[in-house]
Amino acid sequence: MTIQWFPGHMAKARREVTEKLKLVDIIFELVDARIPVSSANPMLEEIIQQKPRLILLNKADMADREITNSWLKYYEQNDKKALAINSQAGSGLHQIVNAAQEILKPKFDRMRAKGMKPRAIRAMIIGIPNVGKSTLINRLAKKNIAKTGNMPGITKSQQWIKVGKELELLDTPGILWPKFEDQEVGYKLALTGAIKDTILNLQDIAVYALRFLENHYPNRLTERYELSEIPNDILPLFNHIGTLRGCLMSKGEVDYDKTAETIIRDIRSEKLGSISFDLPEDQAEED
Ligand SMILES: Nc1nc2c(ncn2[C@@H]2O[C@H](COP(=O)(O)OP(=O)(O)OP(=O)(O)O)[C@@H](O)[C@H]2O)c(=O)[nH]1
């Protein structure tokens, strides 16, 4: 689904999330494990305010495992609860309820102390487009599709999905926009497929990707594109890859757009292996 994020749409999305927030105890913030910072909404912190949050690094199967582990450590050091999951295969999901219970223990203890009846945790999923929100909801709903009706006192009808006895999940996720004003973030979103029909220049994305690979995954770059060494300049590198992959125009000249497309497609389809584009050390510098 492609959403045009005009200011009016952003305001509407924000309003919808703010409304639903009132119904839940906790937010499950879904981000892409390959780009946990770039796939986060820039204003989420402000929107959810004091609401407890569990960060879910989705598509962990596509991310560099070592870097995902560093991210998990990073969040732990910053007192944020985060889990790495794969919504498609369903792995890691069993930890979600436990983690939510741990985060909400003080609140539920207080409720119990006041003599209130124990109840399930209410949660909603929030994330940018294409991060896997529907996949996760469907996965969690799979076994317990018993939808509860309207909740008393709530005028707008909201469907809840029961996940075991302990969790109730809003059946529609909150969709928020990515940080697309930042060009580097835009490249990362494009390379992970979060932006599909990209408004960015293909060649710019591919140049960014090649530079990133050269710095962080040089061996994968040389292996995939049969390079004895990585040329210093981008033009010979493009020429080499274009020729190798047959991205040529009628006169035999390299077609740079086609070459760029090939490079981007290779990365998206993991032909260069699992790659993470956001690195915890860069974030630590910014903090
Ligand atoms: N490899 C992998 N793919 C995933 C995972 N989770 C979701 N996907 C894929 O990512 C794509 C987007 O998933 P959706 O569930 O439609 O994402 P969404 O956030 O609901 O998207 P919008 O409706 O655009 O907001 C689909 O092709 C899913 O199959 C995962 O953990 N691993």
Instruction: Say what the pLDDT of residue 198 is.
Output: 62
Helix (H, G, I), strand (E, B) or coil at 31: strand
Instruction: Say what the pLDDT of residue 3 is.
Output: 62
Q: Is 127 annotated as a binding residue?
A: no
| Residue 221 CB less than 6 A away from ligand 1 | no
What is the b/e burial string over 25-63, where b = at least 16 CB atoms within 10 angstroms of the residue's CB? bbbbbbbbbbbbbbbbbeebeebbeeebbbbbbbbbbbb
Q: Is 150 annotated as a binding residue?
A: no
- CA 71 to ligand 1 center in whole angstroms: 21
Instruction: Say what the pLDDT of residue 87 is.
Output: 95
Question: pLDDT tens for residues 151-201?
Answer: 444 444 568 999 889 999 998 999 999 998 899 999 999 999 988 766 789
Residues 122/23, Cβ–Cβ less than 8 Å: yes
Q: Is 174 annotated as a binding residue?
A: yes
Alpha-carbon span 205 to 186, nearest angstrom: 9
Which of 134, 171, 274 should be mutated for ligand 1, with most atoms under 8 A from CB? 134
Instruction: Say what the pLDDT of residue 287 is.
Output: 75
| Residue 36 CB less than 6 A away from ligand 1 | no
| Token reading at 107 | 């609140």
Ligand 1 atom nearest 60 alpha carbon? 31
Residue closest via CA to ligand 1's atom 2 equals 59
Sign of CA dihedral 51, 89, 68, 106: positive
Between the alpha carbon of residue 225 and those of residues 218, 242, 270, the distances in Å are: 11, 10, 14
The number of beta carbons lying within 10 Å of the beta carbon of residue 81 is 17
| Residue 68 CB less than 6 A away from ligand 1 | no
Residue closest via CA to ligand 1's atom 9 equals 132
- The amino acid occupying position 256 is Y
Instruction: Say what the pLDDT of residue 148 is.
Output: 43
Question: pLDDT tens for residues 264-286?
Answer: 999 999 999 999 999 999 887 77
Which positions of the chain have pLDDT values less than 50? 1, 144-156
The pTM assigned to this predicted structure is 0.92
Q: Is 41 annotated as a binding residue?
A: no
Q: What residue ranges in the chain does DSSP mark as E strands?
A: 26-32, 53-58, 82-84, 121-127, 147-148, 160-163, 167-170, 174-175
